[in-house]
């Protein structure tokens, strides 16, 4: 059987962020490494992320970023002669997914398990997710890949894992903090977090990560210029090294959770969207993260308390590092790619 041809359709934009595109890019590379032929159906926001993070070898078909994108993706899938369409998009209706599936197979990335889906293969790498969460929501016979073992983490994180976990076991005094709250920096949350964190981490090197299109970028550049210990990284390709070097972090909920887990990075997770809240709440309950809700009136107190605990309690940092690293080994993209290829052969 010939190698599968896969069109990938992720959501993106100022309010959505870049996480959908980044995890789809990770999966695309895992598929390509195993012989698949991939292309993106890409809005301008998606195209900007693909350009920033080095995907010149992957073909893309233009979308406009409007409600007709699903129909346009269906057309592009025909042009590409796709065997599969891979979607990572919360806004698609069952009818749109059924249309995407017509004449080919559909793979879906999901985080919500809150509505009917129409896949041949579905992956939800969320904490605590099981196939039972999709009972009566997916067609009979759909292949369900669930839990953090399938989290799509870039290979650089798995490569940095041994040294990162060794450092955490050694338990040296903290020297580096990391603030990474998404490429688009929704509502300029990074500025709020720096204002809270910097007085509590006055002696630390503070690495701050944002995307080149973040509206807060000019102010962040000015802050970095006035504070030599605040190092700004824009569209960085060195995220794995920054996480491995950091002693603790303030990070967004969502797919970057599993990058941090792969490296055992103790984190105060900031909930930026409603869909992030259930998983973050469960992980905080089980001692895997500390959590602060950006929409809460007492957000500053929540985050300040979490930062104080991370900075002052080496036993807490060690326990979080061990527990999160046990959840995710960074090999999820490979497992997903092997599952799709196996399904393609049947």
Per-residue pLDDT tens digits for 122-160: 999 999 999 999 999 999 999 999 999 999 999 999 999
Provide the pLDDT for residue 55: 80
Of 3.40.50.970, 3.40.630.30, 3.40.50.2000, 3.40.50.620, which CATH number belongs to 155-327?
A: 3.40.50.2000
Q: What percent of the chain has pLDDT over 90?
A: 89
In this prediction, residue 321 carries a pLDDT of 98
Q: Compute the average pLDDT of residues 164-175.
A: 94
CATH 3.40.50.300 describes domain 5-153+331-345: no
- Cα(286)–Cα(345) distance, integer angstroms: 39
Give per-residue pLDDT as tens, 182-208.
999 999 999 999 999 999 888 899 999
The full 3-state SS of 92-127, as one line of letters, equals CCHHHHHHHHCCCEEEEECCCCCCCCCCCEEEECCC
CA distance 194 to 213: 19
Lowest-pLDDT choice from 9-18, 62-71, 147-156, 177-186:
9-18
* Average pLDDT over every residue of 268-281: 93
pLDDT in tens, 287-313: 999 999 999 999 999 999 999 999 999
The average confidence (pLDDT) of the chain is 95
pLDDT at 100: 95
pLDDT tens for each residue of 31-57: 999 999 999 999 999 999 999 998 888
Residue 19 parent element (H or E):
helix 19-33
pTM: 0.93
Phi/psi at 209 (5° precision): -120, 130
Partners of 34 in beta bridges:
none
Alpha carbon distance 120, 181 (integer Å): 33
Alpha-carbon distance of 185 to 210, in angstroms, equals: 7
103: left (phi over 0), alpha (psi -120 to 50) or beta: left
Give me the sign of the Cα torsion angle 203, 322, 271, 300.
negative
Structural domain spans, the chain: 5-153+331-345, 155-327
Identify the pLDDT of residue 57: 83
Residue 67 has pLDDT above 80, yes or no: yes
Q: Do domains 5-153+331-345 and 155-327 have the same CATH topology?
A: yes
With 90 as the cut, is the pLDDT of residue 233 above it?
yes
């Amino acid at each position: 059987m010939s190698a599968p041809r896969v069109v990938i359709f992720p959501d993106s934009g100022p309010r959505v962020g870049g996480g959908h595109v980044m995890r789809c890019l990770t999966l695309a590379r895992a598929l390509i490494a195993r012989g698949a032929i991939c292309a993106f159906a890409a809005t301008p926001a998606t195209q900007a992320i693909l350009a920033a993070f080095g995907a010149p070898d992957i073909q893309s078909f233009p979308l406009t970023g409007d409600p007709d994108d699903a129909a346009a993706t269906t057309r592009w899938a025909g042009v590409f002669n796709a065997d599969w369409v891979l979607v990572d998009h919360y806004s698609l209706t069952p009818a749109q997914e059924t249309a995407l599936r017509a004449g080919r197979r559909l793979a879906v990335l999901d985080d919500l398990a809150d509505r009917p889906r129409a896949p041949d293969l579905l992956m939800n790498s969320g904490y605590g997710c099981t196939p039972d969460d999709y009972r009566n929501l997916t067609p009979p016979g759909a292949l369900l890949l669930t839990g953090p073992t399938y989290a799509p983490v870039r290979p650089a994180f798995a490569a940095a894992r041994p040294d990162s976990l060794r450092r955490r076991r050694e338990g040296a005094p903290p020297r580096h903090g990391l603030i990474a709250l998404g490429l688009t920096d929704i509502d300029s949350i990074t500025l709020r977090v720096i204002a809270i964190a910097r007085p509590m981490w006055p002696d630390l090197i503070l690495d701050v990560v944002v995307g080149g299109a973040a509206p807060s970028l000019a102010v962040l550049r000015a802050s970095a210029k006035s504070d030599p210990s605040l190092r700004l990284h824009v569209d960085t390709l060195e995220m794995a090294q920054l996480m491995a070097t950091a002693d603790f972090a303030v990070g967004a909920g969502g797919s970057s959770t599993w990058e941090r887990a792969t490296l055992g990075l103790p984190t105060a997770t900031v909930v930026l969207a409603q869909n992030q809240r259930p998983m973050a709440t469960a992980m905080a309950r089980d001692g895997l993260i500390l959590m602060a809700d950006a929409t809460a009136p007492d957000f500053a107190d929540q985050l300040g308390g979490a930062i104080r605990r991370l900075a002052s309690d080496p036993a807490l940092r060690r326990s979080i590092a061990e527990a999160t690293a046990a959840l995710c080994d960074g090999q999820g993209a490979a497992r997903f790619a092997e599952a799709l290829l196996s399904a393609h052969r049947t």
